[in-house]
Amino acid sequence: MSSPTSSPTSGPAYAADLVVFGGTGDLSMRKLIPALYHSDRDGRLAPETRVIAMSRGGLTDDDFRGKVDAEVRDQIPVDDMALWQRFLGRLHHVSVDVGGADRSGWGALTRLLAGHEQRDRVFYLASPPRTFGPFCRELDEAGLVTPQSRVVLEKPLGHDLPSAQSINDEVGAIFDERQIFRIDHYLGKETVQNLLVLRFANAFLEPIWNSLWIDHVQITAAETVGTPGRRGYYDHAGALRDMVQNHLLQLLTLTAMEPPARNDREAIRDEKVKVLQSLRPIAGGEVERFTVRGQYVEAGGMPGYLDEPASTPTTEMSRRVETFTAIRAEVKNWRWAGVPFYLRTGKRMPYRRSEIVVQFKDVPHSIFPGGTPNRLVLRLQPEEGIELHIMAKEPGAGEVTLKPVPLSLSFGKTFTTRVPEAYERLLTDVLAGNPTLFMRRDEVEAAWRWVDPILDAWKADRALPEPYPAGTTGPAGAHELLGRSGRAWHEEEL
């Protein structure tokens, strides 16, 4: 299976042992276990496939199954108890002390995997990136890395280019690049995969998908949530590392890439890397002109970033970190010359919405007053769908009045099949050994290469991020970023 768009319900994979480091953590309990249950229900897990959670927790298999039963069953929710019991039977737990003197956990894992060397082995590292290297070394020392093994790395992959390179080196010392699956869960979302189909399986878009017809592109990932309880992570991350370096740049690459010669893992990733390499660097004095940083402050009964409940104290880093950013990017190539790509993401915005808006140019000569240019909206969240806004005449005698109306495709309404969660799709692909929707080393590093100079300039800037009231669309600077050229963010009510 090499198609990025083939159905995730296609056939069961081979028997596999999926070992999840950080197996009792938030990601595992909220995303991975539910995704695996759905895969099982849809017949995509081979009968022998096992899920082995590793943590420091000191749990037995039964304790872990009880924990999953108590914490996950209602989230899904489960309608077939017999199937749920069968699924729980696949779960195991091994306690491990990474880098510590106690080697018993590695012995227990070795015994559990012994005799199953022919199975696909997937080591899923849902743990902080500093543990990636040590885990891989420990696995190697324990002799657990077989030719059929794969390793899955969760983001963030480092905090800048050198740290990403060193993680890639450490993991690359044990696993071949073909065995390494770097997750960006945005790539598992239906609309993201549909973007490739929309662009490359329809003839009408390609001739107008360029600077002759497109005025600009907006990529927004707005969230209503704040960062309660996450300050320890978020102070060091900020919106640029947390969302732009990975999710938003991935959306940009898929929007801007050239048609690949084949629907093939390397052909698609080759084209994506070229886009990242064509991004015009933003550095030094330009950073102030082309980027905006914001931090939400208390408003409408919602706390500001600095007042969110946290287990770590407020520091200078907390005051300086951005919870919102907007950037004017440019892809320097023939197709996109002069077309700005505006990126925007923030916490505590008034709505939860992720979308790509392709804003077309105005008609070359207008014979009707009141027209607005066409717009294509690819919505990832909250409801996945595609809308093409065209001009139509409002019915009625008398003067011709124009109105933009959407031709709209709602996945939920058009297709009756369940839309799988991003992690379900990605886990299916890992188990099938298909890396198309995962980031290659050169992609991750090219993204950091573009982001690092912005981070450096922000670090050197003594100004704090612009405050914006919680529940609003970001600081004034974000609106000026587009306003300067007579443009505005797409804020249409859903």
For the annotated catalytic residues, the residue numbers are 247
Q: Give the number of other Cβ atoms within 10 Å of residue 392's Cβ.
A: 12
Query: Cβ 275 to ligand BG6, closest distance in Å?
Result: 21
- The SS3 of residue 467 is strand
Query: Cβ 381 to ligand BG6, closest distance in Å?
Result: 6
Sheet with 385-393: list strands edge to edge.
402-410, 385-393, 375-381, 353-360, 214-222, 340-346, 324-330, 291-297, 466-469
What span, in angstroms and rounded, lies between the C-alpha atoms of 464 and 238? 13
Give the nearer residue to ligand BG6 in terms of CB position, either 139 or 244: 244
Give the nearer residue to ligand BG6 in terms of CB position, either 145 or 237: 237
Query: Cβ 364 to ligand BG6, closest distance in Å?
Result: 38
Give 485: exposed, middle or buried? Use CB within 10 Å, 0-12, 13-18, 19+. Answer: exposed
- Residue showing tokens 């091994």: 94
Give the nearer residue to ligand BG6 in terms of CB position, either 92 or 347: 347
Query: Cβ 223 to ligand BG6, closest distance in Å?
Result: 5
Give the nearer residue to ligand BG6 in terms of CB position, either 324 or 336: 324
Query: Cβ 185 to ligand BG6, closest distance in Å?
Result: 6
Q: Which residues of 311-337 are buried (b: 16+ CB within 10 A; e: fewer)?
A: eeeeeeebebbbbbbbbbbbbeeebbe
Residue nearest to ligand BG6 according to CB distances in the complex: 242
**DSSP string spanning 443-463?**
HHHHHHHHHHHHHHHHHH--S
Give the nearer residue to ligand BG6 in terms of CB position, either 311 or 416: 311
H or E element that contains 66: helix 61-72
- The SS3 of residue 351 is coil
Torsion of CA 305, 307, 310, 313, to 10 degrees: 100
Residues near ligand BG6, by CB under 6 A: 155, 221, 223, 242, 354, 381
Give the nearer residue to ligand BG6 in terms of CB position, either 223 or 387: 223
Query: Cβ 213 to ligand BG6, closest distance in Å?
Result: 29
Query: How far apart are the two ends of the chain, measured CA to CA in Å?
Result: 36
Contact 198, 380 (CB under 8 A): no
The first and second tokens of residue 23, run together, are 């197996």
